[in-house]
A and B are shown apart, each in its own frame.
Chain A
Amino acid sequence: MEQTVNYSADGATAYNFAYLDEQTKRMIRRALLKAVAIPGYQVPFAGREMPMPYGWGTGGVQVTAAVIGPNDTLKVIDQGADDTTNAVSIRQFFAKTANVATTEKTAEASIIQTRHRIPEKELREDQVLVYQVPIPEPLRFLEPRETETRKMHALEEYGLMHVKLYEDIARHGHIATTYAYPVMVDDRYVMDPSPTPKFDNPKMNDMAALQLFGAGREKRIYALPPYTKVKSLDFEDHPFEVQTWKDECGMCGARDSYLDEVILDDQGNRMFVCSDTDYCSERQEAGHRGPQHHDQPLGKAAREKAAE
């Protein structure tokens, strides 16, 4: 295969295409196929040491390395942003080891690796979304025994998951879990959607793109094939709800996207901006303006405008 030849920028032949050797990629692909065949089921795989610490997306990187080809275009986001440390270093990693094209545009990417967010723009059938997962087991904090949680998955004993939600309501008056909100996949497996905000849970349902989840330290892979039913767990009298904001995005004025709060000074001033930087800058390019646009130029388009 031509992919076995090194593509690194300086022409060195020390690394295989996309860092991992072909046998490792085969092993990961087998796990991925099994994961796609059983949506929501955690498939163990022989996770490798990666040249980055656990917790920095080693699982996602291995999955991306196993599915990426020379013609792919990669986008990497961290909390929705393309320009944060984790996103920048992983994007550079694949630019260097696989020589693939990278982009910050959601629409142009064929593979999107993400930590903690799903892009606001609707994904298509020809795209793959790869999640970095720290703890794949949704039952972990209620039942620490791995033997027991596997049995509970096998026998579909998921009452315990509701014990957690019950406890939330008893303590806070509402379901206070805001991220890693448990979902039921295809009416069968309860799955941890990785620490994405629950705002993104509805996007997982019936998504056109293939969704792959990789947990490096825990050595588990799971997946959601395109158009899979994903339902957030709830109670009849306390239905699932997503976060809402009173403010709009300070830069682009969006009211339908996930907003991050930014503290501006020690006088209590703050602003809200889209966590998805690409979505925000696209809206700004299209002429949308938020109340703080000229004072605080964030986002790519605004930065470029400021540089001129």
Chain B
Amino acid sequence: MTQMSNPLLRVDNLTMMYGDRVGCKDVSFELRPGEVLGIVGESGSGKSTLLRSISAQQEPTKGTVQYNTRIDGVCDVYQMSEAQRRLLMRTDWAFVHQNPRDGLRMNVSAGANIGERLMAIGDRHYGNIRSNADAWLGKVEIASERLDDLPSTFSGGMQQRLQIARNLVTSPRLVFMDEPTGGLDVSVQARLLDLLRGLVHDLNLAVIIVTHDLAVARLLSHRLMVMQQGKVIEHGLTDQVLDDPQHPYTQLLVSSILQN
């Protein structure tokens, strides 16, 4: 981890209200390149709201999200023009959905799915796009011969890996993941986590991962944020939070996992 570098993402006092109801409240944190932040909490605690607000999909009621872009330096993502923001979202950012069907184009081949981002940023050489897609299929452990198959013929785990390949092809620096292992069986989960951990390390990705699975959080994330009722109630290094929880809710959460 490069702790001394400038933060890649800076969130200040982010608040999202749904009318009178709190989505998330006064969340602030910084994320540095290559750092993996886990957000855990029970269902309805505001994890996904927070993720959507940070990833420019839903403008927050209050607070700012600043991102250190490659070209223009630090920018407020909600002050950018829409064209700039959408370009950022499909080049320097990536979003891995819980359900791969939300993140994939199901009616075009795996190769076209991976190639889409490349074509979106102006790649117009079929041979290059295809070999690039093929290489990425290899990186996520899918056989080359499946390059021209539709994602609907893939298993759930393969679809999820394809979604990851499709997102990482433009070498993003920040990846948002919403329950990336949800809906997969335990052995497939383990392989996917292994793969993710390798990619995150090799590509020096900064990741914000939302999960309710503490095992996933422990395996992937360096730091952990625990949320309850829209607020961050505990924040610290993953091992520290999980091994020595301070807040009563975190203690409950940790103790609710079957030990040995």
Contacts and interface: CB of A to CB of B under 8 A. Distances in A.
Given A166-B115, A171-B109, A235-B126, 10 more contacts: A157-B120, A159-B122, A160-B116, A162-B124, A163-B108, A166-B129, A170-B111, A170-B130, A235-B125, A237-B127
A206 interface: no
Interface of A: 142, 151, 155, 157, 159-160, 162-164, 166-167, 169-171, 234-238
Contacts of B111: 166, 170
8 contacts: A157-B86, A159-B116, A159-B117, A166-B115, A166-B130, A167-B109, A170-B147, A235-B126
A18 B148 CA distance: 52
A163 to B, nearest CB: 5
Interface string B132-167: 000000000000000110000000000000000000
Interface residues of B, number: 23
For the complex, would chain A's binding face be called helix, strand, loop or mixed by DSSP majority? helix
Interface string B31-64: 0000000000000000000000000000000000
Nearest to B84: A155
B257 interface: no
A159 B105 contact: no
Tell me which of B105, B125, B126, B147 has the highest count of chain A C-beta atoms within 10 A of its own C-beta: B126
B154 to A, nearest CB: 16
Contacts of A169: 126
Listed from nearest, the 8 A-B pairs whose CB atoms lie closest are A159-B120, A159-B119, A235-B126, A162-B119, A236-B125, A155-B83, A167-B112, A167-B108
Contacts of B243: none
A87 B83 CA distance: 44
A171 to B, nearest CB: 7
A170 B122 CA distance: 19
Contact of B82 (A155, A163, A237): A155
B133 to A, nearest CB: 9
A73 to B, nearest CB: 43
B112 A163 contact: yes
